Amino acid sequence: MWVHFDCSSLTVTKQQMTTDLDQLAQEHNMDTEINFAENRKRLALMVSKYDHCLYDLLLRHQYGEFKADISMIISNHIDLENIAINFKVPFFYIPVTKDTKTSAQQRLLELLKQHQIDLIVLARYMQIIQPETIDAYPNKIINVHHGFLPAFKGAKPYHQAYEKGVKLIGATSHFVTAELDTGPIIEQETARVNHSHCVDDLLAMGRDVEKKVLAKAVRSFIDDKIMVYKQRTIVFD
């Protein structure tokens, strides 16, 4: 159940309301969570070299579509730093190599904690998130996969789709779990293709779909409209 309360006439403190709800939930063996709309969530955007999802999220935030704060951009490459500068968002470069994975992981967790991040958005971040980060932020890391999961997992899904001669391509936003590309799905969308489209066409069409599904997933999280039950999500419109 998802309930929206009007607290304009609240006669107790928010802390007391939260405490009373927790006590009631314990008495009935229920799981509850209460969020107040004025408490803006803090987002960290993680990117590599692809910029379309990053631009889309930053513009939507600039236009006021997200009632949240983009606190930082983190990347394993320096290529997109100018975008962060243009949008006046702090940029942090954390290179990831075979020899630096452990130190990069520690640096990432330090930054996330320091900036009190509520949601991590992988806006085409092309590195595998380590288990320590996933455990520290359960159901608080959203990824966009450039494929219609559960089909075409892993690398180059559009190339896989082209080889199979599919008539629909898609993109998927999902929570990140330890098992790659298998987390609870939040949003999906498709685009129709035919035999005349080449791989480059599929890539171009896919970019639009990726932006849409990622933005919708982020908005749903910000508005507290996602619940996770077992391996599924319940998303309230």
Residues with a catalytic annotation lie at: 181
> Hey, how many other C-beta atoms are within 10 angstroms of the C-beta on 112?
22
DSSP track, 8-45: TT--S-HHHHHHHHHHHHHHTT-------TTS-EEEEE
- How buried is 181 (Cβ within 10 angstroms: 0-12 exposed, 13-18 middle, 19+ buried)? middle
Per the rule left: phi > 0, alpha: psi between -120 and 50, beta: everything else, 25 is alpha
- For residues 67 and 223, the answer to whether their CB atoms sit within 8 Å is yes
Token pair for 41: 């969530």
Q: Where are the beta strands (DSSP E) in the chain?
A: 41-47, 68-75, 91-93, 119-122, 141-145, 168-175, 185-192, 226-229, 232-235
- Pull the structure tokens for residue 33: 């969570």
